[in-house]
Amino acid sequence: MSAGKQRLQEFEALRALSIVLLLILHSDVFSLQVFGVELGPISHFVGAFLLGSFFFLAGYFQEVSMQKRGHEPLAYIKSKFMRIFPPYWFALALFIFVMGYSLKRFDLTVYLLNIQFIFSPAFVKQMLTLWYISVVVSYYFLFGILTYRIQSNSGLAVWSLVIFAATYVLHKMTGLLDGRFFEYFFIFLAGIYFARLHQVREWLFNLHFAFKVGIAFLGVLVFRMALASGVDITHGFYLLAVDFYILGWVLMWLGIFRTNVGGWRIWAPISTASFFAYLFHRPIWYVLVGLLARRVGLSTIMFQFIPGSIIVLFVCYFLQNGYDSLLHAGRKQGNSPAGKGI
């Protein structure tokens, strides 16, 4: 394994773990009982961690990508657009035409533009799963502008707080903006700083593992208190608690994945499949359950949980590789004399 891959194995493994947890969560396994114990309460912790991990990794890799590209914002925007929007639009079509989701004209326009994070849930119909794409694209846009225009870390922090405060007031006054926009705002920002502050990153990695475990489980206690309090997800206490919980568990698992555990070969293909698996797992499950679940004698939950999730990862691994090849061929054509003339 090259030095570059060694440095990235923990991030790749964390992404893979997160998509596996998402498939488990969305299969509704946590609606079951095990030896008389309700699994439902665990779903809050699993959901916050896996989504927080996705946002943290998105912030980290956005900063890494922008550092590599230097001052080429248009090239970066084009790359992000092509990687996100065509697969997203295809997933949206599957939700509508395969799974039967109905959207009014305004709702459809909002979803096509991928700006549902502004209007959902107060003004447009919510759609499962796809909300993440809208929120993460909003972060790419906001933090992309900030990191391009503001080089200092302190300046980035100040302007991030200003934007958070302004959008928070807007949300409270008008109902605009999805509450989850605020829940993961500072998680994405933490990913940016994790990429920027090399010495801090190494210091955190070098903390004793027992200390990381302690932070992680303290996060569980704090987040549990926030959940028990019944406050809204935009309440200050909830936001502090969930962000502390997410960052503690992200740090712990990154530490675990810097060991030989992160080098397991299974993580790489799962990580590769993760984005398409996120987009397409529900439509794929919908079709598979209708065709196969009764024939193999499994309930919907168990079919989605085991064979369904494996099939999703297998299919989406090849879909992602195929789409990457298509993008690569498009870039090569665009760089050729004939391509530049089109």
The dihedral through the CA atoms of 178, 182, 185, 187 has a sign that is negative
Q: Residue 34: helix, strand or coil by DSSP?
A: strand
CA distance 142 to 61: 15
d(CA 76, CA 23): 30
Per the CB < 8 A criterion, the answer to whether 274 and 19 are in contact is yes
SS3 232: coil
What does the radius of gyration of the chain's CA atoms come to, in whole angstroms? 21
CA 338 to chain centre: 37
Here the tokens at position 132 are 């993440």
**Residue 140: φ, ψ to 5°:** -55, -40
Distance CA 107, CA 124 (A): 5
DSSP at 38: E
Residue ranges of the chain whose pLDDT lies below 70:
1-7, 69-71, 333-342
Q: Average model confidence (pLDDT) for the chain? A: 92
Cα–Cα dist 264/257, whole Å = 9
pLDDT in tens, 266-286: 999 999 999 999 999 999 999
Q: Which two tokens stand for residue 122?
A: 């107060």
Do 14 and 253 form a contact (C-beta atoms < 8 A)?
yes
What's the pLDDT score for residue 270?
98
What H or E segment, with its residue span, contains residue 228? Answer: helix 209-229
- Unique residue bearing structure tokens 């989406």: 316
Under 8 Å between Cβ of 281 and 287: no
Q: What is the dihedral of CA 79, 85, 91, 94, to 10 degrees?
A: -130
For residues 291, 323, 21 and 217, what is the CA-based torsion angle, rounded to 10 degrees?
A: -170
Look at residue 165 in the predicted model and tell me its pLDDT: 98
**3 state DSSP class of 294:** coil
